Structure 1
Amino acid sequence: MKIGVIADDFTGASDIALTLAEAGMKTLLLAGIPEQECPDCDAAVISLKSRTAPVAEAVEQSLKACDWLTDKGAGQIVFKVCSTFDSTEAGNIGPVVEALAERLGETSVIVCPAFPENGRSVYQGHLFVGDTLLSESGMQNHPLTPMTDPDLRRVLGRQTGWPVAHVPFLTVSKGAAQVSDALAALRAMFIVDAIQDEDLHTIGTAAKGRKLLCGGSGIALGLPLNFGFQPGSPSWAGVAGKGVVLSGSCSLATRAQISTYRDLTPSLELTADDVMNGTHTAQSAADWVMAQSHDAPLVYSSADPEAVKAAQERYGRDVVAERIELLFRDLAAELVGRGIARIVSAGGETSGAVVKGIGAGTLGVGGRLAAGVPALRVDDRALAIALKSGNFGDKDFFTTAMARLAGDQ
């Protein structure tokens, strides 16, 4: 193993696994820290559910994952976070990077969540979504990790005792040597600007020999070349059978995808009230899915920010989130038990619940469904899934993903 990745949620794990696979590395996606031996690979991505966990728990899980990866030979560790830098005032990005750096003996760390292909860029230390500052992109309304400050230096500075420095675009544009020189200047976490893929390749070259990096999936674009790998397309044969779309994301992009898909397929909405009062259960929702003649109906709890806020005020933020996740976990288990062969999951928390529900261990990385979203085969079973970050994909994503999971496109 050359590169080990610790991802703080499941959609992020599949995102960076696709980046590494398309760069020519044999890549495995692991649902948590394996208890058994895994097949040989060039890169392994361990997906945790640590983004919104208590800080101490997130640090502990990440260090255990780091130890497993380095024991398997990984010479470089990437801490994969969301391309919108989802976090709270306390963490978990800063505390985890700090702990990993100390474990690995690294004194300066590149931090760059840029993903230009999906409209995420970092300029003058500020994170943009398209041409909009992060704080005006809709992420300010995220129900668990609202992002109200686009200046990543301030965001990270509130989470760590390390100095937080900046490598501006002007330096990045001059090449990898200049970036390397800037990183050697002091012990710090460095927010590094990147506005195009070329910048991420420059950063990747500058990262050669470094033990730790932090970023979105784009941070991995230039890393495989350092180990002699060349780009290639992962193969995908497809999986036939009935499918389902499960969505818990409340992002603008996912809500637009739901609106489009509802016009094409039967849909079942699980409101917070429905979930809390037991109107819908995993069994009743599974009965509804299996009764539909359409080959991939939609079950969703996604709602607009005002509805989400009202539900949180009625029941408590963490209570609502936990109950919805548990329902999706149990629903996924129920559906797979009844023969569902294809699942598209939207949203990081939802995807974590789905992966747990289906009892996934090792996921093989197949072809691209959209930028940042690969087809995944579960444990060599006749079961294919896609784990989509809330903000990823165009309005037709659900239709396209279902067809590609089946091998039809």
Structure 2
Amino acid sequence: MPLLGCVADDFTGATDLASMLVRNGMRTVQVIGVPDGPLPEAEAVVVALKSRTAPPAQAVAESLAACEALLAAGARQILFKVCSTFDSTAEGNIGPVADALLRRLQSGFAVITPAFPANGRSVYLGHLFVGNVLLNESGMENHPLTPMRDPNLVRVMAAQTEGSVGLIPFPVVEAGAAAVRREMSRLAEGGRRYAIVDAVTDAHLRALGEAAAAQPLLVGGSGIAMGLPENFRRAGLLADTEDAGHLPPAEGLLAVVAGSCSRATLGQIGLAREQVPVLELDPLTTPDAKEMAATALRWAEERLSAERPVVVAASAPPDRVAALQARLGRDVAGVLVEEALASVAEGLVARGVRRLVVAGGETSGAVVQRLGIRSLRIGAEIDPGVPWTYAEPGGLHLALKSGNFGGRDFFLRAFEG
């Protein structure tokens, strides 16, 4: 019976959250898509949806179905996991899904924060920073699907929800859990439906987690889960453990498939190019998914190894992405890249790859669905927010990396040891 039930709006975000829970001592399983049967045994279950860029009505329906499955399994609290860069549009999907979950849980208030200091995400006076720059100066303003041009999360959330949005500012969070709890009560009694919560340190997130122990719903990035396992320990529901992230030994051929166009992923590809075989696909030149996949697999066959990875990437800088979208349309361009990379991943696994890194949320969703994976056991982190996972059956080790996550040497370091 899970203690914590989580609904994630994309696949890499789900593994990011699951990794946070494992790090804090909860045995965690990630389920792919809305569960259609009994949930795996675990102390936390994360349902990974591909709903971040879906039509709002579809995102709401899938999120509610996932919530129902988690509640039926016995989950005592629900966490709606969104991106640490709050990826969304003016229409949603964060606001519509959160509104629907609040109604289902018969609650009138929830706290929200995408803060994750270990990965450079902090919220101060309601504004989201990525490293030392505001969200709208971080490169996210050029995201091909969810461009983020306003760093004020109170304003962003207010545009998406039926309710009003308040702020729990830095001085309150700095004062600790009791102060946060009092401010939550004050805002809820004053008619606020949500409160964006400032957080610039892990201590802030742990204080928020403690303050929100009795809240039916929380909304945020994986950092918001940092303090939740300890709540269950205080209640005598969760034992201490040192092996929450144990996985079978890794073996087999190595590969990376990258579709993210984030600055972080482009930098990781650039460094990898200097040390391992890298093939960069160009959808502008070859706008055919089958042809791109066939080219990549022919290229990879001669280079696959158990000592060093091959990297197949369809990532591109903003001007190339804009040119492709102008030629094909945004949705068609996105599907083209996802289909090509999903076929590449499928072909690589068929050729003996058993350790596979996938970069990009949409790409990860397409790959996992193509491979028919239904659940993942969560293991140790490679970098903050990016764990190795183990797909059963099949014996495949997967690392699903959010485009913005990981150090510049991530594609190399992932396979060390």
Alignment partner, residue 271 of structure 2: 260
C-alpha displacement at 1:275, in angstroms?
4.3
**Cα distance, 1:198–1:32 mapped onto 2, change above 3 Å:** same
Question: Where in structure 2 are the equivalents of 1:246-395 lying within 5 Å?
Answer: 246-277=257-288, 280-294=291-305, 295-395=308-408
Q: Partners in 1 of 2:290 and 2:351 — Cα distance? A: 21
- CA RMSD after TM alignment: 1.4
Question: What secondary structure sits across from 2:128 in the alignment?
Answer: strand
Alignment partner, residue 183 of structure 1: 184
- The runs of at least 4 consecutive aligned structure 1 residues that moved more than 4 Å come to none
Question: What secondary structure sits across from 1:280 in the alignment?
Answer: helix
Q: Partners in 2 of 1:98 and 1:279 — Cα distance? A: 40
Question: What secondary structure sits across from 2:86 in the alignment?
Answer: coil
Q: Partners in 1 of 2:390 and 2:66 — Cα distance? A: 22
**Cα distance, 1:264–1:86 mapped onto 2, change above 3 Å:** same
In structure 1, stretches of 5+ residues that fail to align are none
Would you say 1:217 and 2:222 are equivalent positions?
Answer: yes
User: Which deviates further from its counterpart, 229-238 or 156-165?
Assistant: 229-238
C-alpha displacement at 1:291, in angstroms?
1.8
C-alpha displacement at 1:144, in angstroms?
0.6
C-alpha displacement at 1:181, in angstroms?
1.5
Question: What secondary structure sits across from 1:377 in the alignment?
Answer: strand
Q: Partners in 1 of 2:266 and 2:292 — Cα distance? A: 22
Contact 2:357 2:401 in 1 (8 A): yes
Contact 1:347 1:388 in 2 (8 A): yes
Question: Where in structure 2 are the equivalents of 1:5-404 lying within 5 Å?
Answer: 5-185=6-186, 186=188, 187-228=192-233, 229=238, 230=240, 232=242, 234-277=245-288, 280-294=291-305, 295-403=308-416
Contact 1:55 1:95 in 2 (8 A): yes
* Matched residue type, 2:378: V
In structure 2, stretches of 5+ residues that fail to align are none
Q: Partners in 2 of 1:274 and 1:380 — Cα distance? A: 38
**Cα distance, 1:277–1:379 mapped onto 2, change above 3 Å:** closer
Q: Partners in 1 of 2:28 and 2:288 — Cα distance? A: 42
What do residues 30-51 of structure 1 show as CA deviations (whole Å, max 9, x unaligned)?
1112223233111000000000
User: Which deviates further from its counterpart, 231-240 or 149-158?
Assistant: 231-240
**Cα distance, 1:278–1:103 mapped onto 2, change above 3 Å:** closer
C-alpha displacement at 1:238, in angstroms?
3.1
Contact 2:111 2:196 in 1 (8 A): yes
User: Which deviates further from its counterpart, 176-185 or 223-232?
Assistant: 223-232
**TM-score, length-normalised on structure 1?**
0.96
Identity of matched residues, %: 48
C-alpha displacement at 1:312, in angstroms?
0.8
